[in-house]
Chain A
Amino acid sequence: NAGVTQTPKFQVLKTGQSMTLQCAQDMNHNSMYWYRQDPGMGLRLIYYSASEGTTDKGEVPNGYNVSRLNKREFSLRLESAAPSQTSVYFCASRLLAGMSDTQYFGPGTRLTVL
């Protein structure tokens, strides 16, 4: 049982390059999330998907796009990377069952944009 997996773990881009961050979960959860984490700040939500086939903007969606490929996979795309997008990106899936509400996080992707 792998939980939430993310690829790649590290990435260096030049300004203007594009890339896709991959995320997959094997827990059959409906909801999935993309966050970024910057020093001294809380996790900030980029996009989320409440269920397969739906996606919605979070707090900081500009410069990003997402695809909920199927129930397992939720990808984040940077079309034209900027230095301000240097960050650690986390994918999470959510279990909501009765009184249990838990997000499970992947190990993160550390992205540097030069």
Chain B
Amino acid sequence: EDQVTQSPEALRLQEGESSSLNCSYTVSGLRGLFWYRQDPGKGPEFLFTLYSAGEEKEKERLKATLTKKESFLHITAPKPEDSATYLCAVQAGNYQLIWGAGTKLIIKP
């Protein structure tokens, strides 16, 4: 069964304290792995798509990486405005995405 698991469920960091969020997946025939950001009371907002193991993408303080079993979202020197829930999803060959439950990130000033 295709599955996506994100860890930790919640992460509290001090401003400037770098860390990583994990997204592990089991899927037959990965066609893409997606990262989204969701602010409270809003819809998810697209961050990255990764297609193959070894691929990396960066945007400001965020860097996403992909292996054959998992993806990491690295956050370098985070700021309070980076606080949000980060969602991971995988696509396995049809139009449907399989979503993880998300990691709630809180950055304290």
A101 and B101 contact, CB distance less than 8 A: no
In the complex the two chains form, what is the Cα distance from A56 to B45 in whole Å?
A: 24
Beyond A50-B95, A103-B97, whether A42 also contacts B45 by CB under 8 A is no
B87 and A42 contact, CB distance less than 8 A: yes
B49 contacts the other chain (CB 8 A): yes
Beyond A42-B4, A42-B87, A101-B49, whether A48 also contacts B43 by CB under 8 A is no
A48 and B87 contact, CB distance less than 8 A: no
A-B contact pairs, 29 of them (CB 8 A): A4-B43, A31-B95, A40-B101, A42-B4, A42-B98, A42-B100, A43-B44, A43-B87, A43-B99, A44-B99, A48-B95, A48-B96, A56-B95, A58-B96, A90-B44, A99-B49, A100-B49, A101-B32, A101-B49, A101-B91, A102-B49, A103-B34, A103-B44, A103-B46, A105-B44, A105-B45, A106-B43, A108-B42, A108-B43
**A-side interface residues toward B, CB under 8 Å?**
4, 31, 40-45, 48, 50, 56, 58-59, 90, 92, 94, 99-108
